[in-house]
Chain A
């Protein structure tokens, strides 16, 4: 059929959002290898193990940020801490320490945490930053209440998480499992629903997307991953410590921003978040190697964050006006 002639077809494929973060990770790996000869020689495995709670928490942060409407979960840090404390002081200390109970319990606790946040944000419609600030404080409070001082003595099977004997450290399998499940999720309608809601919730709602349910599920997913992070955190720490969790929140959010995920929602994915977290951890690792003071570390974080936001912004503009 003849149609009225139109403007030429525009636009090729957009460059993936996570490319700047991934490139930065490569650069950081190269720099680290320069400084420390052991890094490529197996040292990276240990670095990865220590980085894993942050990487998992950054991944956990992604779904809620993607869901838009100011979506954010400040409580991921204390949430993971709480899971860790309950596992250590609630189950393991009472000799309930078999893997097939502890692992599902961790995920389930995470889901409950996510459901609490999801109810506050999606159902009661409290702005996410307020709602999760409240749960941040509550979770941190409960954790210290349950466990006033750090404990140790974990079951032997939990050493698996920190094992670096294999070709890759075992935590990589955990990350791949989480990433793989997420990838499966992106094959379902939920992914489209999530991006529609995150990008323009009015458009999504009028088209018939169940906006409330989508946002609620996003929080539950965040919670589930927080649970996994709590489990890994316990293994990496070799026990539970109520004060460690909260320190992760700001870094996880920074990682998400570094990873090219739009804080306005609707654009990004787990891979970017993981890259962002890896980048932060590598920077920290490098500064420790050079024995820089912790003030330098803080400044470095801030600087990297600003630079990353600028680069991602420029990237974005190019995408919109090719």
Chain B
């Protein structure tokens, strides 16, 4: 017999009102293993995570820790068993310092458990281990990037005594360098007998990290496989029930456009920070321009410049409007010029939490669905239904509250809103974060369809694979400058990677192995 599992879910059923999110879920995690949890969007992964973290109790079934039945009634109870969770949504209080966010909940109601100095030391150690500047602990969270916020939530878990660390797509917002450091940390802790439950849609991450994986399909547990069996095609076929051969080699590279159709938008003499080198960048009409770069190196600033969200300190952004160059002077002006922007922080900047799926989706196209300023509910309903079908939003119910959608499905709604507006220039900040592979492929196809019809796309992605498979060219930022624009044969994994690290491939490999 193998060692008894650290934690075990047996015969779990969970319902949200009428929605059955889990039905007969089975999961066991051994001490000292990294356990993958995979499944399509809405298959119940986050629900499992919430049950294990004490956010809610299962409708039916038992949770065992060290072989004993337990009642994880609250996050505090789960933490007392050593279960620490980094949730899919980066949960940060913006009005408190990073340090307060990290240690909140470790004290009593009135009594502080640690002095601030001890807290700062402990947190600094973890943050540095993740290769991030400790300044995120003292800065106001408003000023932090999504990746830095995610580092805070990781630190929040890692400073506490943990036995099982649950990462619910916690890597999707991290840049490559931080992610590799996190993986190194997890692997080191594994040999200390600590376990990790790792939820991710990224097959490459699963392949390097996990010991075993459990697959979920629409609320059911399909099964658990060992590392050797957990090949991407095997996992994918378990996830969607199709045969393995259908998935082998399915990662086709989309045909790149060669035909020149002129320039749709351009950056002239733009500097992404006040002391950075200025550069020019043209976006060709009908292309998908990928934008990559490590966090804090200006990639976000670059896409935000195109979208008019934050104007660069130097230089100008221009968009072609019927043959005339019109300068982008701000967000409103950008929208009026036919630019649409999908922000990265979906909870804070993207979704309307009190509205249902319909309104979140139709928001940007109300204009088209109204007559004399009065909305036509029937037309909206029809358009929304069609849109949801196209995007594969589960459940396909326009009246569903947006907060009831799984992370990936919420992301589909956010991107879908702006796709429906059919802008001239669509600017996307990591649009497919947390979206499952099948849907991603459909998105790529959809984007291609729209660009063939004349739309232009600028898309930031934290995933190099994504930049390579879905984009025509890739612009890579380093140190707030434009390091390289790769095209055709230059678009290789190593090419993008070395550009991210400032053209020095040796440094890149050095960082990766040393981490």
**Interface residues, chain A, CB within 8 Å of chain B?**
1, 3-11, 14, 188-190, 192-193, 195-196, 198-200, 202-210, 213-214, 217, 262, 266-267, 319-322
Contact = CB atoms under 8 A, between A and B. Distances in A.
B117 to A, nearest CB: 14
B92 A200 contact: yes
Nearest to B157: A207
A322 B132 contact: no
B367 interface: no
Given A192-B104, A196-B93, A203-B101, A7 B109 contact: no
B394 to A, nearest CB: 23
Interface stretch (B139-147, B186-194, B232-240, B468-476): B139-147
A189 B107 contact: yes
A26 B511 CA distance: 57
Given A10-B139, A320-B142, A208 B79 contact: yes
B41 to A, nearest CB: 21
Contacts of B107: 189, 192-193
Q: Give the interface residue-count category, chain B.
A: 35 or more
B91 A208 contact: no
B268 interface: no
B177 A196 contact: no
- Name the 3 nearest CB pairs between A and B, nearest first: A208-B105, A189-B107, A7-B296
A210 B76 CA distance: 8
A3 B132 contact: yes
Nearest to B55: A206
B156 interface: yes
B460 to A, nearest CB: 16
B76 A206 contact: no
Contacts of A4: 131, 177, 294, 501, 511
A14 B112 CA distance: 25
Given A189-B111, A193-B107, A319-B140, A206 B87 contact: yes
Interface in B106-156: 106-113, 128, 131-133, 135, 139-140, 142-143, 156
Interface of B: 53, 55, 74-76, 79, 85, 87, 91-96, 100-101, 103-113, 128, 131-133, 135, 139-140, 142-143, 156, 177, 273, 294, 296-297, 479-480, 501, 511
7 contacts: A8-B273, A189-B107, A192-B96, A206-B53, A207-B104, A207-B105, A322-B143
Given A266-B95, A267-B95, A196 B104 contact: yes
A193 B143 contact: no
A206 B85 contact: yes
B93 A200 contact: yes
A9 B135 contact: yes
A192 B103 CA distance: 9
Contacts of B296: 6-7
Contact of A207 (B108, B128, B142, B156): B156
Given A1-B128, A6-B133, A200 B297 contact: no
A195 B96 contact: yes
Nearest to B76: A208
B140 A196 contact: no
A188 B94 CA distance: 20
Contacts of B501: 4
A80 B297 CA distance: 56
B133 A3 contact: yes
A11 B139 contact: yes
A262 B95 CA distance: 10
B83 to A, nearest CB: 11
Contacts of B139: 9-11
Contact of B109 (A9, A193, A204, A322): A193
B173 to A, nearest CB: 15
Contacts of A8: 273
A209 B95 contact: no
A263 to B, nearest CB: 13
A199 B94 contact: yes
Given A189-B112, A208-B74, 7 more contacts: A196-B96, A206-B87, A208-B76, A208-B105, A208-B106, A266-B93, A322-B143
Contact of B131 (A3, A213, A214): A3
Given A10-B143, A196-B100, A214 B109 contact: yes
B109 A195 contact: no
Contacts of B103: 192
Contact of B95 (A190, A198, A205, A321): A198
B92 A203 contact: yes
A319 B139 CA distance: 11
A200 B94 contact: yes
Contacts of A204: 93, 104-105
B53 A199 contact: no
Nearest to A320: B142
Contacts of B109: 189-190, 193, 210, 213-214, 217
A220 to B, nearest CB: 12
B479 A5 contact: yes
Contact of B93 (A5, A14, A203): A203
Interface centre among A189, A193, A210, A319 (most CB of B within 10 A): A189
